[in-house]
């Protein structure tokens, strides 16, 4: 079964498997959105069935919520959980300081709220997402529909004074209509090329009228689990302030069950 998977899918499964093992009985867990997070949700479902793991989970999107219910995870709202022990989520890009670009799947607002309402955030990813400087992946910015063109113009005006390579933005679409988030908002994707100062850019973007939130996650992630196609996962921990790296090997044959219903 695993021989039919792409190297990227094998790497995603590896990261998801390793990170899901950080979840302990009785935890309140934030569940991310995206392809790598989906592997993690399925792994938690397997642990619930095989080990009797008991958790409550707060999903970051409607599609993650549905998947979690499908695999037997007890889903609640963040208001019900109030605070979380751990959030596990993917990233579109990350750098050495674990600053992230997120929002490629359109769930950046709920993802950021859930991550910041957690004692710890673990990022799950493959090695291709690691960059020296953020910005090659378009930066998502969630905006309210009212006056979005004016908001877009203001955002581009702000970019002219930022340490970025490009200043173009585009409205994300779904077919011939604007893509709509779970909160009923639109997304502008900023083609920046390079982001010299992510912290400054995140602060400035959120001051633009009409902007709800941006996809820069600064000082939120504590650890990153990087999966590799050979079943090796690399853990980098910044929670102590000093980067620590460890590795672990998993048996990719265990992936047969998790992929069997895809």
Q: Can you give the pLDDT of all 262 residues of the chain as single tens digits? A: 445 778 889 999 999 999 999 999 999 999 999 999 999 999 999 999 999 999 999 999 999 999 999 999 999 999 999 999 999 999 999 999 999 999 999 999 999 999 999 999 999 999 999 999 999 999 999 999 999 999 999 999 999 999 999 999 999 999 999 999 999 999 999 999 999 999 999 999 999 999 999 999 999 999 999 999 999 999 998 766 655 567 777 777 655 544 443 3
Q: Tokens at residue 116, please?
A: 């910041």
Residues near 224 by beta carbon (within 8 Å), at least 6 away in sequence:
91, 94, 98, 122, 123, 124, 125, 235, 236
139-214 folds as Alpha-Beta Plaits (3.30.70)
Q: Is 90 annotated as a binding residue?
A: yes
Cα gap 44→57, rounded to integer Å: 10
Across-strand partners of 244? 237
**The tokens 């980067």 sit on which residue?**
243
- pTM, 2 dp: 0.91
Cα gap 121→8, rounded to integer Å: 22
Q: Is 105 annotated as a binding residue?
A: yes
pLDDT of residue 5: 77
pLDDT of residue 260: 41
pLDDT of residue 12: 92
At CA 64, angle to CA 61 and CA 68, rounded to 5? 140
pLDDT of residue 3: 56
**69-73: long-range pairs with CB below 8 Å, 24+:** 70/45, 71/41, 71/42, 71/44, 71/45, 71/46, 72/45, 72/48, 73/31, 73/41, 73/44, 73/45, 73/48
Residues near 199 by beta carbon (within 8 Å), at least 6 away in sequence:
99, 216, 218
Multiple choice CATH, 2-130+219-259, 3.40.50.1360, 3.40.640.10, 1.20.210.10, 3.30.365.10: 3.40.50.1360
Q: Is 36 annotated as a binding residue?
A: yes
Listed by start position, the domains of the chain span 2-130+219-259, 139-214
Q: Is 210 annotated as a binding residue?
A: no
Q: Is 242 annotated as a binding residue?
A: no
111 is catalytic: yes
Active-site choice (51, 97, 111, 156): 111
Closest by Cα among 149, 143, 155, 150 to 187: 143
Q: Is 34 annotated as a binding residue?
A: yes
From residue 164, alpha-carbon distances to 47, 71, 97, 114, 149 in Å are 44, 42, 18, 28, 21
pLDDT of residue 258: 46
pLDDT of residue 38: 95
pLDDT of residue 262: 35
Q: Which runs of E-coded beta strand occur in 154-215?
A: 168-171, 173-174, 177-178, 186-191, 211-214
Cα gap 256→41, rounded to integer Å: 15
Give the length of the chain. Answer: 262
- Count each helix (H run) and each strand (E run) in the chain, helices first: 8, 17
What three-state secondary structure class fits 186? Answer: strand
Q: Is 6 annotated as a binding residue?
A: no
Q: Is 30 annotated as a binding residue?
A: no
Q: Is 102 annotated as a binding residue?
A: yes
Q: Tokens at residue 104, please?
A: 């490629």
């Amino acid at each position: 079964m695993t021989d039919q998977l792409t190297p990227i899918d094998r790497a995603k499964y590896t990261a998801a498997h390793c990170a899901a093992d950080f979840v302990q009985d009785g935890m309140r867990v934030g569940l991310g959105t995206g392809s790598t997070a989906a592997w993690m949700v399925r792994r938690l479902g397997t642990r619930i069935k095989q080990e009797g793991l008991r958790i409550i989970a707060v999903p970051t999107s409607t599609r993650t919520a549905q998947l979690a219910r499908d695999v037997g995870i007890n889903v609640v709202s963040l208001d019900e959980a109030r605070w979380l022990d751990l959030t596990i989520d993917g990233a579109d890009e990350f750098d050495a300081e674990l600053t992230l670009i997120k929002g490629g799947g359109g769930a950046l607002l709920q993802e950021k709220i859930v991550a910041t309402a957690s004692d710890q955030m673990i990022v799950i990813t493959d090695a291709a997402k690691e960059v020296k400087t953020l910005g090659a992946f378009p930066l998502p910015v969630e905006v309210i529909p009212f006056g979005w063109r004016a908001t877009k113009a203001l955002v581009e005006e702000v970019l002219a004074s930022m340490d970025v390579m490009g200043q173009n933005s585009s409205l994300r679409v779904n077919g011939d209509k604007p893509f709509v988030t779970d909160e009923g908002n639109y997304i502008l994707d900023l083609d920046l090329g390079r982001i010299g100062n992510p912290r400054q850019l995140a602060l400035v973007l959120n001051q633009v009228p009409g902007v709800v939130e941006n996809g820069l996650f600064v000082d939120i992630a504590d650890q990153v689990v990087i999966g590799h196609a050979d079943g090796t996962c690399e853990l980098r921990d910044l929670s102590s302030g000093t980067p620590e790296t460890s590795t672990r090997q998993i048996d990719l044959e265990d992936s047969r069950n998790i992929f069997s219903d895809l």
